[in-house]
Structure 1
Amino acid sequence: MTATQLQKSFPIGLRTTFSGCSYALKGSQEVYDITKWPKYTGFYGKVPTLLYYKTTTNRLLDWGNGARLLSFKPKQEGNLIHSFKMWLADDQTTQHEENHSSIDIIADYLSKFHQHILEELEKKLDPQYTPDQYCYCLTVPAIWSDHAKAMMREAVIKAGMIQMDDPLDRLTLISEPEAAALYCEQKCDMSNLKHQDKFMIIDAGGGTVDLIIYEVQQSSHDKTRKLKELTSGYGGICGSSDIDKNMRKLLLKKFGEEGSSMPICTLEMIMETFIEYIKPVFHGDEDQYLDIPATALSYLPEGLLNEDYQLVLSAEELAQEVFKPVFDSVIMLIKNQLSTIKVNTAFLVGGFGSSIYLYQTIKKAFQDQIDDCVVPPHAELAIVRGAVYHCISPGLVTSKVARYTYGVRTRLPFEEGLDPEESAVFTSDGIKRCSTRFDIILRKGERIKVNSKIRRSFWVSYPKHTEADLYIYNGDDPIPRQINDVGIKKIADFPIKMPYLPGMMTGERIDVNIDFIFGLTELKVDVLVSGYRSQFTTRILDK
């Protein structure tokens, strides 16, 4: 299958608390949303990012809201798994549940999610569209490393959405604040933003809050607009799920010792009421009344509830104990981004970004630094819809700022006093070389055009196979000299297979060219050996 055969694009917003999907047909500007999800008719219009595994067998029993409903049953058969997307943020393929790695669990969710999408599309589309013609775009947090992105790509393959040998462009990854910027460019009135004006995207989701700042580049003759990235994607783990954690702590404090023996399913039912009916509408200035199910009454201290069996939550305690700790972290993230740049407009997007309370807090805190603060229409769909617009018009963002210093392991001429003697090797050309040098290809903070190539060339002896090793450094100058120095981390290797070359003698030199292609979100690598080409993304290394 070639990329030109792909007829439909499916951007998928796999988010920490709720996930969604939009799609578009090839050659069309119209965007459609998947709006029906199994066993769910909730406030957010998307599907909960949840899984429920049977305890005794580790078998997946249900996903989405079906998993949540199982967790409400008095007799629990298994475990409710949530926030598993954020497991990739720690850059590990850790076993989080027995016999299930983070990749396994994400693949399980994506498999069920994708199966439902296909069933929905079967009802809507002409039979000429078949799954082997679909391509996908998956959104990822700005704070994710190249390794975390590679693990997500592996999970998509494991879920059966694409195959290992499919063209790389069948799956595109895009950072969530970048997708949000594309949505705002399409759907928000940016007429007040002129050439060289700056705007910030604040993508507030369930697990993370991601930020990015762009400068508008507007042509003087045809008024076309492009976006220039001014700051690399940046963020923190301070999303709306942290508000839920704070609420759980407050409830347990109020319930006291009597409530400590309350079944988990009952506590989850109470939390569900808070998440659906109080958290989205709380503005910080009104007391709230939380309905308590009858199954919880025998576990609560006398006099805690009012006559309508409601728990009265004062506006002050909700603001100070539940919302403020998270809001403070968000405010600090924004302050850090605005420390050197003043922006004209801030766009607040994401499910958490739909909170009026968060909007008011940000607007008040930065009234002297941000001219306008805007919540676009359907802010909760901004990420997944923005990913669609990226697939339709991929050239809107023209340049990016490198988050890391990238380099390759190479054999450069040995320098006495600078290179360790144990790294010295003599190559067939008779030159003494250092075998562990970190050869920089892109420096942290350096601006680079999207999809531009940086080439490195070397030679090998025919018919020897070899590999290229890619490393990153996340610190500042001075940059370490050796790949085994502190702070240097290997993130990928690319096997270079020597093709059969008729007429080539053993030991002859063969030129190898490696093109590092820095795309919008992923780094791709082209390896060229005597006219033969191989293409890679950063693949997962054994830990």
Structure 2
Amino acid sequence: MNPSKDSSGREYAYVIGIDFGTTFSGCCFGFIENETVDGYQDITAWPRQRFVAYPKTPTVSLYKNGSRDIAAWGDAAKGLADKPNFRDHLLEKFKLYLDEESAATMPPLPNGLMPVQVIADYLRSIHTYISETMDRGFAKNYDQSQYRYCLTVPATWTIQAKAVMREASILAGLLERTDPIDRLALISEPEAAALYCQKTCGLFQLTTGQRFMICDAGGGTVDLVVFEIENRVQDTPDYSLKEVTRGSGDTCGSVFLDKNMEALIRERFSHWEGVIRSRAMDAMLISFVEHIKSHFFEDDDDEYYINIPSSLGYPNSEDPDYGIHDGTIVFTFEEIRDKVFEPVVTRVLNLIQRQLDSSGSNSVDAIFMVGGFGMSTYLQHRVKETFVPRVRFVSSPPRPEMAVVRGAVYFGMNPHLVTQRVSRRTYGLDAKLPFNSLHDPQTHRIDVRGKSYCRDRFSVYVNKGDAIGVDESVTKDIITVYPNDFSIGKGSWKIVNGDSIG
């Protein structure tokens, strides 16, 4: 794929990467004629931004009660939800509706909304702001039709989930339904991060034949894949990569720390007969996120504190039996570690363990931690403690929270740096295969021109776990037969390892 042209020959000027995350979303864009990462531009300023130091915007949307039209998004939506007597709908973590396991535990969307519409509304809003930002710079010289897009998705998403994401992108106006399919590329989050991290191989003294793991720990999901470094690409500082393990992941991102913290707070007030209203709980969880979650284990603190909001209505500012002093809940280091962090961190460690085991006898030299949760000092400590020296080192690239979205742009610029992927599923075709009396039921036996076949058999093209070269075709010759058993010729079906092999 030529980054400046699609399959129809249409010319593009910019690649836009969008990391649509569970809790935060980010964007980076690059001018195609300047392919270096140094030339990429991160969007770090967002409307009504609360945390100026963090370069992403909340994946949050607000809908008025009874309305299907988005009223606000990002920090602006959060600001409106903070107003007294809020009665509308603040939607968060709606990306999880596309994860089969998580969707079963998610509440129904309000106002008759569907996941594809909510995602499309958010993408339309963020895309409008991205376009306005780009128009304030050199990109104003180009029309939006000259933008090509790369959106990142979890490694564990099904083809159905990716199809919903593509449909949402069309509904959001990123592209037209009639556009060539390769105007929008969907790339797995760990693969995008790997493309960004491969540029640091020299810095970490990694070279051809060595392997590294990407651990992309975000707000909702943690995705992992192991890559092997191939040869340096001629006339560039880049290395090509091949995927050597089947990508895996789980819904064990940082939002589950918040859930554990909420449970711990409720446990602390279990003796109280009052009701913990959502506004009071939100205030305490914001305090946790801002003052404990992001800095846990950085200092030698023995205790952590959360102010009790007046909206809670708790009657005592002093209640030593329940760890309440001067209107503040006091938590020990051990409580936060064992009840909030460890249940989530242990799941991440198990994922890493399985990925290392699946690499077989080939050692993995490095683990790169990326994503917002990947920046956690405590998570990095536990990964190093558990897996070094089995792996040589655990580290993060520069700006690990932007690794995925920068890698998405890099993929748009250099789509052939990944030369091999490992199939996450088995693909095949419903076919009639030669009858095997040992395994096939007689009820499925049919005779065609003197030969016995079994109907409704599965003819496998690619097995789960097979390594397939990018753009490699898997072909089979088949005989097409009409109901009158008359053979009408030969055909060839093929599966190409591209966007559809997930």
Please report how far the alpha carbon of residue 114 of structure 1 lies from its aligned counterpart in structure 2 after TM superposition.
1.2
**Corresponding residue for 1:454?**
474
Kept after mapping to 1: 8 A contact 2:369/2:394:
yes
**Corresponding residue for 1:484?**
none
Task: Give the superposed CA RMSD.
Answer: 2.9
Q: Trace 1:91-130 onto structure 2 (pairs within 5 A).
A: 96-98=108-110, 99-130=112-143
**Corresponding residue for 2:404?**
383
Q: Does 1:84 align with 2:94?
A: yes
Q: Which moved more, 1:90-99 or 1:332-341?
A: 90-99
Please report how far the alpha carbon of residue 508 of structure 1 lies from its aligned counterpart in structure 2 after TM superposition.
10
* Separation (CA, whole Å) in 1 of partners of 2:342 and 2:9: 48
**Corresponding residue for 1:522?**
500
**Corresponding residue for 2:3?**
none
| Cα displacement string for residues 233-261 of structure 1 (whole angstroms, at most 9, x for unaligned residues) | 11111110000101111112223364852
Kept after mapping to 1: 8 A contact 2:96/2:103:
no
Please report how far the alpha carbon of residue 416 of structure 1 lies from its aligned counterpart in structure 2 after TM superposition.
4.9
Per residue, is there more strand in 1 or in 2? Answer: 1
Q: Does 1:41 align with 2:55?
A: no
Residue 176 of structure 1: which of 183, 189, 201 is its match? 189
Q: Does 1:132 align with 2:120?
A: no
**Corresponding residue for 1:527?**
none
- 1:390 is paired with a residue whose SS is helix
Q: Does 1:249 align with 2:259?
A: no
**Corresponding residue for 2:247?**
233
Q: Does 1:55 align with 2:65?
A: yes
Q: Which moved more, 1:56-65 or 1:373-382?
A: 56-65
Please report how far the alpha carbon of residue 459 of structure 1 lies from its aligned counterpart in structure 2 after TM superposition.
6.3
- Name the count of aligned residue pairs: 477
Listed as ranges, the gaps of 5+ residues in structure 2 are: 1-5
**Corresponding residue for 2:311?**
295
Residue 23 of structure 2: which of 4, 17, 29 is its match? 17
Q: Trace 1:497-508 onto structure 2 (pairs within 5 A).
A: none
* Separation (CA, whole Å) in 2 of partners of 1:135 and 1:510: 41
Aligned-residue identity in percent: 36
Q: 1:64 to 1:331 in 2, by over 3 A?
A: same
Q: Does 1:217 align with 2:230?
A: yes
Kept after mapping to 1: 8 A contact 2:212/2:368:
yes
- 2:420 is paired with a residue whose SS is strand
Kept after mapping to 1: 8 A contact 2:94/2:115:
yes
* Separation (CA, whole Å) in 1 of partners of 2:94 and 2:233: 47
Kept after mapping to 2: 8 A contact 1:228/1:399:
yes
Please report how far the alpha carbon of residue 511 of structure 1 lies from its aligned counterpart in structure 2 after TM superposition.
5.8
Please report how far the alpha carbon of residue 176 of structure 1 lies from its aligned counterpart in structure 2 after TM superposition.
0.8
Kept after mapping to 2: 8 A contact 1:424/1:434:
yes
- 1:370 is paired with a residue whose SS is coil
Please report how far the alpha carbon of residue 186 of structure 1 lies from its aligned counterpart in structure 2 after TM superposition.
1.8
Q: Trace 1:156-175 onto structure 2 (pairs within 5 A).
A: 156-175=169-188
Please report how far the alpha carbon of residue 515 of structure 1 lies from its aligned counterpart in structure 2 after TM superposition.
3.1
Q: Trace 1:462-501 onto structure 2 (pairs within 5 A).
A: none
* Separation (CA, whole Å) in 2 of partners of 1:518 and 1:263: 51
Please report how far the alpha carbon of residue 509 of structure 1 lies from its aligned counterpart in structure 2 after TM superposition.
4.7
* Separation (CA, whole Å) in 2 of partners of 1:351 and 1:138: 18
* Separation (CA, whole Å) in 2 of partners of 1:220 and 1:92: 40
Q: Trace 1:1-12 onto structure 2 (pairs within 5 A).
A: 2-12=8-18
Q: 1:259 to 1:59 in 2, by over 3 A?
A: farther
Please report how far the alpha carbon of residue 167 of structure 1 lies from its aligned counterpart in structure 2 after TM superposition.
0.5
Please report how far the alpha carbon of residue 141 of structure 1 lies from its aligned counterpart in structure 2 after TM superposition.
0.9
Q: 1:258 to 1:230 in 2, by over 3 A?
A: same
Kept after mapping to 1: 8 A contact 2:222/2:348:
yes
* Separation (CA, whole Å) in 1 of partners of 2:272 and 2:135: 52
* Separation (CA, whole Å) in 2 of partners of 1:202 and 1:274: 24
Q: Trace 1:179-218 onto structure 2 (pairs within 5 A).
A: 179-187=192-200, 189-218=202-231
* Separation (CA, whole Å) in 1 of partners of 2:25 and 2:315: 34
Q: Which moved more, 1:326-335 or 1:102-111?
A: 102-111
Q: 1:149 to 1:461 in 2, by over 3 A?
A: same
Q: Does 1:328 align with 2:328?
A: no
Q: Does 1:352 align with 2:331?
A: no
* Separation (CA, whole Å) in 1 of partners of 2:206 and 2:139: 41
Please report how far the alpha carbon of residue 397 of structure 1 lies from its aligned counterpart in structure 2 after TM superposition.
1.5
* Separation (CA, whole Å) in 1 of partners of 2:291 and 2:392: 32
Kept after mapping to 1: 8 A contact 2:222/2:253:
yes
* Separation (CA, whole Å) in 1 of partners of 2:249 and 2:233: 34
Q: 1:67 to 1:10 in 2, by over 3 A?
A: same
* Separation (CA, whole Å) in 1 of partners of 2:176 and 2:477: 30
Please report how far the alpha carbon of residue 134 of structure 1 lies from its aligned counterpart in structure 2 after TM superposition.
1.3
Kept after mapping to 2: 8 A contact 1:212/1:231:
yes
**Corresponding residue for 1:406?**
427
Kept after mapping to 2: 8 A contact 1:354/1:379:
yes
Q: Does 1:26 align with 2:44?
A: no
**Corresponding residue for 1:474?**
none
**Corresponding residue for 2:386?**
365
* Separation (CA, whole Å) in 2 of partners of 1:215 and 1:401: 12
| Cα displacement string for residues 521-542 of structure 1 (whole angstroms, at most 9, x for unaligned residues) | 533xxxxxxxxxxxxxx9xxxx
Please report how far the alpha carbon of residue 354 of structure 1 lies from its aligned counterpart in structure 2 after TM superposition.
0.9
Please report how far the alpha carbon of residue 338 of structure 1 lies from its aligned counterpart in structure 2 after TM superposition.
1.8
Q: 1:295 to 1:418 in 2, by over 3 A?
A: closer
| Cα displacement string for residues 80-136 of structure 1 (whole angstroms, at most 9, x for unaligned residues) | 222211221107998931422222221221121112211222222343311122111
| Cα displacement string for residues 443-474 of structure 1 (whole angstroms, at most 9, x for unaligned residues) | 22221111211234446699x9xxxxxxxxxx
- 2:383 is paired with a residue whose SS is helix
Q: 1:411 to 1:27 in 2, by over 3 A?
A: farther
Q: Which moved more, 1:257-266 or 1:442-451?
A: 257-266
Give TM-score, length-normalised by structure 1: 0.80
Residue 441 of structure 1: which of 461, 475, 493 is its match? 461
- 1:143 is paired with a residue whose SS is coil
For 1:299, give the aligned amino acid.
Y
Q: Trace 1:420-439 onto structure 2 (pairs within 5 A).
A: 420-423=441-444, 433-439=453-459
Kept after mapping to 2: 8 A contact 1:72/1:268:
no
Please report how far the alpha carbon of residue 140 of structure 1 lies from its aligned counterpart in structure 2 after TM superposition.
0.9
* Separation (CA, whole Å) in 1 of partners of 2:459 and 2:241: 31
